[in-house]
Amino acid sequence: MRARSRAAVLAAALLVAPVAACGDAQQRDPAITLTVLAASSLADVLDEARAGYEEEQPDIRLRLSFAGSQELVAQIRQGLPADILITADSDTMDALRGRTGKVRFIAGNEMTIVTAPGNPDGIHDTAGLARPGLKVVLAAPEVPAGAYGREVLERAGVTVSPVSEEPGVRAVLGKVVLGEADAGLVYVTDAVAAGESVGRVPVPSEENVTVRYPAAALTDSTHPAQAEDFLLWLESGTAQRLLHDAGFQQP
């Protein structure tokens, strides 16, 4: 019996401890937490930017949440409390018109073909994706990367039958990195992040799209001034250098 009650106390302690710890941290730490919802393709660079920003602004904490742009919009419509939204296209941002403040563009991106390392299938251009038997994955047309990918194929006049339409651009990259797919269309920044684990075949500029990332504070934000400061910082030299290193272009 004693062993059992001790186990019960231990279990209770394990359940309560993290909650108590959160409470403590909030009491000791007067920092304001800004919730930033951002497109999946920004995940790596914003994680890096957060460290820099929190060091510069010790009384601000950034909570980052990443998902496909459409999903972020759906989350906000469902009432997810957030301060800042950064999407991967204007359509998704415009869908929340009236609930966002001034929209500014913080970065640009392009699409690229990714293959297995060393490009074993010898894909040299967009037309190479149409080769029969080649397993190509695209992002689903519902997400921006999917729409951009289709635009690239359309401009190149290439018809591709993908083996899968993945729900997010990082899932496209994952299928290529795992070797399950032969090639995929992703953002240049995804290819940069994957480094040596993929081969890159650039899409010529006349076939490529210009992706721009709009960012805005949400009108429901409880910290509008701090949200505005963070958006200004994203346009500053420090943040723009980080974005450039991650493969992003000028907005």
Partner 1 sequence: MTPPGSTTRTPSRAIARPRQPAVLTAPAVLAVALLAIPLLGVLAGAPWSELPARLGSARVREALGLSLLVSGWALLLSVLLGVPLAWVLARAHFPGKPLIRSLVLLPLVLPPTVAGVALLQGFGRSGLLGGPLEAIGVSLPFTTAGAVLAAAFVSMPFLVITLEGALAGLDSSLEEAAASMGAGPLQILRLVTLPLVLPSLTAGAALTWARALGEFGATLTFAGNLPGVTQTLPLQVYLLLQEDPAGATAVSLLLVVIAAAVLLSLRGRWTGVGRG
Q: Which residues bind partner 1 (CB under 8 A)?
A: 68, 70-71, 74, 77, 135, 137, 140, 142-143, 162-167, 175, 178-181
Strands 104-109 and 60-67: unpaired
Q: C-beta of 89: minimal distance to partner 1 in Å?
A: 13
DSSP string, 51-80: HHHHHH-TTEEEEEEEE-HHHHHHHHHTT-
Nearer to partner 1, 181 or 194 (CB): 181
**Of 71 and 207, which CB lies nearer to partner 1 in the complex structure?**
71
Q: Minimum Å distance from CB 51 to partner 1?
A: 28
Which one, 180 or 245, has the nearer CB to partner 1? 180
Work out how close the CB of 179 gets to partner 1 at its nearest, in angstroms, rounded to a whole number: 4
Q: From start to end of the chain, where are the E strands? A: 32-39, 60-67, 84-86, 104-109, 111-115, 136-139, 164-166, 183-187, 199-202, 211-217
Least distance CB 60 / partner 1 (angstroms): 31
Closest distance to partner 1 from the beta carbon of 163 (Å): 4
Give 167 or 224: the residue with its C-beta nearer to partner 1: 167
Of 148 and 230, which has the nearer Cβ to partner 1? 148
Measured N-to-C along each axis, helices 43-56 and 237-245 cross at an angle, to the nearest 10 degrees, of 150
Report d(CA 153, CA 199) in Å as an integer.
19
3 state DSSP class of 110: coil
Contact 104/239 with Cβ under 8 angstroms?
no
